[in-house]
């Protein structure tokens, strides 16, 4: 083969290589088209939208939900409006009514009880506003519910109570610390627990009283119950922060080695602290920060789907996990430094 032929052959190979390389480079560029379109649709669905948030109050739980929602929504150009009802039902009712008149794209609400906001939530959907309920539902089903299955939470905790207080392992005497008596979260959890307790004849529920989510009231109730039932084996409490008062009452009565405390926890750091200190026996924990992410996911899904408000009822149930020692600390959330 002559040198000229060699040169022509190598030139042909080089040209073919360049064509092949160009083709390989071109393929990803062409394939990116649909992905670019997906992002464009995503941004168009979300940017400039408004989410109106109505919590019962801005406690640690609600503040964590708010922090996570705001972080997510800021990333996508969604405006978050928040108004704190500060545990006042009349203010929260007025807040939701005002939101409907202001016509945000989505209303996110934490119901104080099953009836207060039920009619307003339906009115919101009828007005073309998506409604997401968080952890404490009403009697009105809305576009989405994000939170625990409270009845299931109650059954799981009750089984743990039976494991430690039933079947001759203790007196079998149990007290329940409710939250707000007509709040779905508290009501459903109590009902779930009672169904399980009724299956064990050794368990006797000697007290079941609402605390209104107040640690001082929970402490007063516990003090009275301990005086009336000195053989009390266990306390089932529907919420961690209120249970701190019960733990103090047990300590004051010098009954920490006799009375076991079982808690439904939203994952607040203080709940893990109290368990590690021995004040709580077991927490069934759902992390508020994870719920905050799910609330944002529900809102984003509704805005992208574009279905008529009220046409579907989607549930995003939170999966809880047991906290029984310091090794389970990951099931309590950490509040970032500087977070408000």
pLDDT in tens, 152-171: 999 999 999 999 999 989 99
pLDDT at 192 over 90: yes
Residues 61 and 138 in one domain: yes
18 within a domain of the structure (yes/no): no
Q: What does the alpha-carbon distance between residue 204 and residue 237 come to, in Å, rounded to a whole number? A: 16
What number is the average pLDDT over the span 326-338? 92
pLDDT band at 30 (very low <50, low <70, confident <90, very high): low
pLDDT band at 335 (very low <50, low <70, confident <90, very high): confident
Q: What does the alpha-carbon distance between residue 162 and residue 168 come to, in Å, rounded to a whole number? A: 10
pLDDT at 78 over 50: yes
Least confident of 26-40, 175-189, 232-246, 278-292: 26-40
22 within a domain of the structure (yes/no): no
Angle at which helix 215-228 crosses helix 240-252, to 10 degrees, equals 40
Number of domains in the chain: 2
Q: Which of 155, 143, 147, 144 is nearest to 56 (CA)?
A: 147
Contact residues for 64 (Cβ-Cβ < 8 A; gap 6+):
288, 289, 292, 333, 335
- Are 56 and 85 in contact by the 8 Å Cβ rule? The answer is yes
pLDDT at 292 over 90: yes
Q: What does the alpha-carbon distance between residue 99 and residue 132 come to, in Å, rounded to a whole number? A: 13
Distances, alpha carbon 131 to alpha carbons 99, 118, 153, 303, in Å: 11, 11, 24, 11
The pLDDT, as a whole number, for residue 248 is 98
Residues 280 and 268 in one domain: yes
Angle at which helix 184-197 crosses helix 150-165, to 10 degrees, equals 40
202 within a domain of the structure (yes/no): yes
The pLDDT, as a whole number, for residue 25 is 46
Residues 75 and 138 in one domain: yes
Residues 205 and 251 in one domain: yes
For the chain, the 3-state helix, strand and coil shares in percent, each to the nearest 5, are: 50, 15, 35
Per-residue pLDDT reduced to its tens digit, 121-140? 999 999 999 999 999 999 99
Q: Which of 118, 162, 116, 110 is nearest to 266 (CA)?
A: 110
Strands (DSSP E) along 59-185, which ranges?
Answer: 79-82, 106-109, 130-134, 144-147, 173-178
Strands (DSSP E) along the chain, which ranges?
Answer: 50-54, 79-82, 106-109, 130-134, 144-147, 173-178, 204-210, 234-237, 260-265, 282-285, 314-317, 321-323
Residues 278 and 218 in one domain: yes
Strands (DSSP E) along 106-182, which ranges?
Answer: 106-109, 130-134, 144-147, 173-178
Q: Which of 313, 336, 285, 317 is nearest to 144 (CA)?
A: 313
The pLDDT, as a whole number, for residue 31 is 55
306 within a domain of the structure (yes/no): yes
Residues 61 and 136 in one domain: yes
The pLDDT, as a whole number, for residue 207 is 99
Cα end-to-end span (Å), the chain = 80
Q: What does the alpha-carbon distance between residue 94 and residue 58 come to, in Å, rounded to a whole number? A: 17
Least confident of 28-37, 59-68, 265-274, 302-311: 28-37
CATH number at residue 176: 3.40.50.2300
Q: Tokens for 28?
A: 């990803």
Residues 160 and 124 in one domain: no
Residues 189 and 276 in one domain: yes
97 within a domain of the structure (yes/no): yes
Residues 279 and 299 in one domain: no
With pLDDT > 90 as the criterion, what percentage of the chain qualifies?
88
260 within a domain of the structure (yes/no): yes
328 within a domain of the structure (yes/no): no
Residues 162 and 255 in one domain: yes
Whole domain around residue 166: which residue ranges?
Answer: 150-285
8 within a domain of the structure (yes/no): no
pLDDT band at 338 (very low <50, low <70, confident <90, very high): confident
- Are 260 and 235 in contact by the 8 Å Cβ rule? The answer is yes
pLDDT band at 62 (very low <50, low <70, confident <90, very high): very high
What secondary structure letter does DSSP report for 340? -
CA angle 56, 60, 62 (to 5 degrees): 40
The pLDDT, as a whole number, for residue 263 is 99
pLDDT at 307 over 70: yes
Residues 86 and 108 in one domain: yes
Residues 113 and 170 in one domain: no
């Amino acid at each position: 083969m002559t040198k000229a032929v060699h040169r022509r052959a190598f030139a042909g190979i080089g040209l073919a290589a360049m064509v092949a390389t160009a083709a390989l480079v071109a393929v990803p560029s062409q394939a990116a088209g649909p992905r670019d379109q997906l992002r464009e649709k995503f941004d168009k669905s979300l940017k400039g939208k408004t989410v109106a948030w109505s919590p019962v109050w801005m406690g640690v739980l609600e503040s964590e939900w708010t922090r996570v929602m705001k972080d997510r929504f800021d990333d996508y150009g969604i405006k978050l409006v928040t108004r704190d009802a500060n545990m006042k039902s009349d203010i929260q009712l007025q807040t939701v009514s005002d939101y409907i008149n202001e016509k945000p794209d989505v209303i996110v609400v934490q119901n104080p009880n099953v009836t207060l906001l039920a009619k307003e939530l339906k009115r919101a959907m009828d007005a073309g506003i998506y409604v997401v309920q968080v952890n404490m539902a009403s009697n009105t089903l809305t576009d989405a519910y994000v939170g625990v299955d409270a009845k299931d939470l109650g059954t799981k905790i009750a089984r743990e109570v039976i494991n430690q207080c039933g079947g001759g392992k203790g007196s079998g005497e149990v007290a329940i610390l409710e939250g707000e008596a007509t709040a779905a979260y508290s009501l459903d959890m109590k009902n779930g627990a009672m169904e399980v307790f009724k299956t064990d004849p050794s368990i006797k529920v000697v007290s079941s009283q609402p605390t209104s989510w107040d640690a001082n009231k929970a402490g007063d109730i516990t003090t009275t119950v301990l005086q009336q039932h000195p053989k009390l084996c266990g306390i089932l409490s529907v919420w961690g922060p209120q249970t701190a008062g019960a733990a103090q009452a047990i300590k004051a009565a010098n009954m920490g080695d006799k009375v076991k405390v079982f808690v439904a926890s939203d994952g607040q750091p203080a709940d893990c602290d109290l368990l590690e200190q021995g004040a709580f026996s077991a927490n069934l924990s759902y992390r508020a920060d994870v719920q905050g992410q799910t609330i944002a996911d529900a809102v984003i899904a509704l805005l992208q789907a574009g279905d008529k408000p009220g046409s579907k009822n989607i549930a995003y149930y939170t999966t809880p996990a047991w906290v029984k020692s310091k090794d389970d600390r990951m099931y309590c959330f950490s509040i970032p430094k500087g977070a408000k």
